[in-house]
Amino acid sequence: MAGLMSRTSNVVKAWISKLLDRAEDPSVTLDYSYEKQLEMLQDVKRGVADVVTAKKRLELQTQKLEQELPKLDDQARKALAAGREDLARAALERKAVAQQQLQGLDQQIAGLESQQEKLMANEKRLSAKVEAFRSQKEVIKAQYSAAEAQVKIGEAATGIGEEMADTGLAIQRAQDKTEQMQARASAVDELVESGTLEDFTSGETSLDRELAQISAQSQVDEELAKLKGELAAGGAQKELEETS
């Protein structure tokens, strides 16, 4: 059984020959290969942009979740002040879930960061090779006989084909990782949306409703007390006026 190195070499060689076989006439291999190199450069640039977009989405979610934490703390405090330990517990449980998600997001953002770096390094190498290939292409065309040129073309095309296969693999892996994150990102979106306790009146969950009632109740109590105070003060004022 062949080792991993020779099997990988074979995969890369097969990929290159499949690519070059498409150019039937050896004289157009150079131009065809160059065209494909430029396409691959575009692909890797797009790949970098996709990773950056995915990263931004996760960063936005991180911000949202971080904003949730003090709100949940506040809800827990209010619920406890109202003697509703069960609601306080529910708010704190939601906070713990949000904190777990935040940790996961940090790791994913770091993962995407490293994918981005890898792709950018790939782009830099491929870009340098494409430029070298472009000038060599002209030299080969101008200076060599048909037979010699064919050998030279084969060498240069193989050398750069390898870099293209390498870049293609990096793009594919980055894409796979980004896709895996989409599902998770959607789940976090849901959590952020359903977990928000900010809107007392929407009544999306029983926790929301109960907290809203408590809040409304305490507001009524406060206002009632205020009114009573005003009335008492008003009455006292009136008495003062009458006695004067």
Instruction: Give the one residue of 69, 102, 141, 162 binding other proteins; rule: CB under 8 A.
Output: 162
> What is 171-230 written as a DSSP string?
HHHHHHHHHHHHHHHHHHHHHHHHH----TTT--SHHHHHHHHHHHHHHHHHHHHHHHHH
Q: Tokens in use for 146?
A: 């048909």
Binding span for other proteins by CB under 8 A among 12-20, 101-109, 187-195, 209-217 = 12-20
Q: Which is nearer to other proteins, 118 or 184 (CB)?
A: 118
| b/e burial code for range 35-44 (CB count within 10 A of at least 16 → b) | ebbeebbebb
Measure the CA angle with vertex 208, ends 218 and 224; round to 5°.
Answer: 15
- The distance between the two most distant Cα atoms of the chain, rounded to a whole number of Å, is 124
Q: How far apart are CA 133 and CA 157, in angstroms?
A: 8
Binding span for other proteins by CB under 8 A among 60-68, 70-78, 82-90, 118-126 = 118-126
Residue 172, interface with other proteins (CB under 8 A)? yes
Residue 4, interface with other proteins (CB under 8 A)? yes
Q: Which is nearer to other proteins, 29 or 101 (CB)?
A: 29
Residue 168, interface with other proteins (CB under 8 A)? yes
Residues contacting residue 75 through CB under 8 Å, at least 6 positions apart: 87, 88, 91, 197, 211
CB 36 within 8 Å of CB 164: yes
Q: Which residue has the tokens 């109590």?
A: 221
Read off the amino acid at residue 174: A
Q: Which is nearer to other proteins, 4 or 240 (CB)?
A: 4
Residues in 124-153 that interact with other proteins by CB under 8 A: 124-125, 128-129, 131-133, 136
CB of 217 to other proteins, least distance (A): 55
Binding span for other proteins by CB under 8 A among 6-14, 67-75, 84-92, 185-193 = 6-14
Residue 225, interface with other proteins (CB under 8 A)? no
Q: Which is nearer to other proteins, 4 or 147 (CB)?
A: 4
Instruction: Give the one residue of 17, 22, 227, 234 binding other proteins; rule: CB under 8 A.
Output: 22
CB of 33 to other proteins, least distance (A): 11
Q: How far apart are CA 162 and CA 10, in angstroms?
A: 11
What are φ and ψ of residue 22, in 5° steps? -70, -25
Q: Which is nearer to other proteins, 43 or 189 (CB)?
A: 43
Handedness of CA 5, 6, 11, 17 (dihedral sign): positive
Instruction: Give the binding site for other proteins (CB under 8 A).
Output: 1-9, 11-12, 15, 18-19, 22, 36, 39-40, 118, 121-122, 124-125, 128-129, 131-133, 136, 155-156, 158-160, 162, 164-166, 168-173
